[in-house]
Amino acid sequence: DRGSVQNSPKSYDVEYLMPVSLGTPAQQLNLDLDTGSSDFWVFSTLLKESMINGQTLYDPNASTTADKMEGYSWKITYGDQSYSSGDVYVDTVTIGDLTVSTQAVEAAREVSEEFTADSDNDGLVGLGFGIINTVMPYKQKTFFEKAMPGLDSPVFTADLKSGAPGRYNFGYIDDGAYTGNITYVPVNSSDGFWSWVSPGFQVGTTGSFNNTRIHGIADTGTTLLLLPEGVCEAFYGRIASAKYDASQGGYTFECNDSTTPDFYFGTGNGQMIRIPGSYLAYSKIDTSSLRCFGGMQSDSGVGFTIWGDIALKAAFIVFDQGSERLGWAEK
């Protein structure tokens, strides 16, 4: 079996949403595929009105295939301190023609204001590893873990684009979606994340390659690229107008600063992925400013590097759960 679904970026590529069908008859929600978490949760009719702001709600009572998991609950808190919690139902879920008939659907009773404010986002499909699923008393499998045994190949791929729709594929690799070779690197899933080690980085076409191992996670659910402080300094040190602006909470520089270099990160076997400098002028810090908030910021608050959407949209990535490895290719 296999599946394929288009993903669409919200403004500034802050997140990428995909249509998902839940229940019988099908209820379509727009969900955020997040490889940095492992809960499948949705806005639902169990929520208080005050927590809803235009989102589409999953109504388990309107689904003839929904079964409540009595006595089960969940609560998740994300890196930015946003959170959600609620009850659990088993129901059928289809993403891009791929159906899992008994998915644990976590129906929200409570969401924090960050989720309420994001009116386009109806919930998350966590495609990290199931060991960090928050359902109690027994954790539940991710959509991919449920689908995997029936797939042609135990992989899913992410093709995120800058300011344009991309695609998530399940169960196969589309050889037309990338250029050159796919370089595979081992994954350590013990923390539940797609954790891997980059051999280093290079700033610009003329800079030398810095052999410094960077431990991090491939995370579709994080907008920016969070790298070690020293890497940020090496990059922003090459941009004439760049500075660390505590009032903005990060590095900023003039959006059109022509000294902005491309950023390359190593994936192994001498392969590098090129992130165009334009991706790193993330967004204007306010409408009247000529300065942009940087797409690369320090990972000091997290403890490891997060290869978020800024990096992922420069590549074609294979999340190979069958062999616990990541595949990186240019496109």
- Tell me the catalytic residues: 34, 198
Of 9, 217, 211, 247, the C-alpha closest to 126 is 217
Least distance (Å) between residue 217 CB and ligand 46W: 7
Residue 219 binds ligand 46W (CB under 6 A) = yes
The answer to whether residue 33 forms part of the interface with ligand 46W (CB under 6 A) is no
Q: Which is nearer to ligand 46W, 76 or 292 (CB)?
A: 76
- Angstrom distance (rounded) from CA 226 to CA 163: 20
| Gap between the Cα atoms of 142 and 148, Å rounded | 10
Binding region for ligand 46W (CB under 6 A) out of 98-106, 179-187, 218-226, 289-297: 218-226
DSSP assignment, residue 44? Answer: B
In sequence order, the β-bridge partners of residue 317 are 158, 328
Are the beta carbons of 238 and 264 closer than 8 angstroms?
Answer: no
Residue 118 near residue 49 (C-beta atoms within 8 A): no
Tell me the residue length of the chain.
331
Beta bridge partners of 77: 83
* Residue 37 touches ligand 46W, criterion: CB under 6 A: yes
Site for ligand 46W in 222-251 (CB under 6 A): 222
Q: How many residues bind ligand 46W (CB under 6 A)?
A: 10
Minimum separation from the CB atom of position 194 to ligand 46W (A)? 10
Stretch that binds ligand 46W, among 34-42, 227-235, 263-271, 316-324 (CB under 6 A): 34-42
295 binds ligand 46W (CB under 6 A): no
How do strand 179-186 and strand 195-203 relate by DSSP bridges? unpaired
The nearest distance, CB 264 to ligand 46W, in angstroms, is 23
Q: Quick one: 134 or 183, whose CB is closer to ligand 46W? A: 134
Residue 61 or 77 with smaller CB distance to ligand 46W:
77
In whole angstroms, give the CA distance from residue 226 to residue 242.
17
Between residues 34 and 106, which has the closer beta carbon with respect to ligand 46W? 34
Q: Residue 273 and residue 202: Cα distance in Å, rounded?
A: 10
Which window, 25-33, 42-50, 216-224, 236-244, contacts ligand 46W (CB under 6 A)?
A: 216-224
277 vs 13: CA distance, rounded Å: 15
Contact yes or no for 219/311 (Cβ under 8 A): no
36 sits near ligand 46W (criterion: CB under 6 A): yes
Contact (CB, 8 A) for 238 and 305:
no
Choice between 36 and 250, CB closer to ligand 46W: 36
Nearer to ligand 46W, 166 or 221 (CB): 221
Task: Assess 94 for contact with ligand 46W (CB under 6 A).
Answer: no
- For ligand 46W, the binding residues (CB under 6 A) are 34, 36-37, 78-79, 219, 221-222, 302, 306
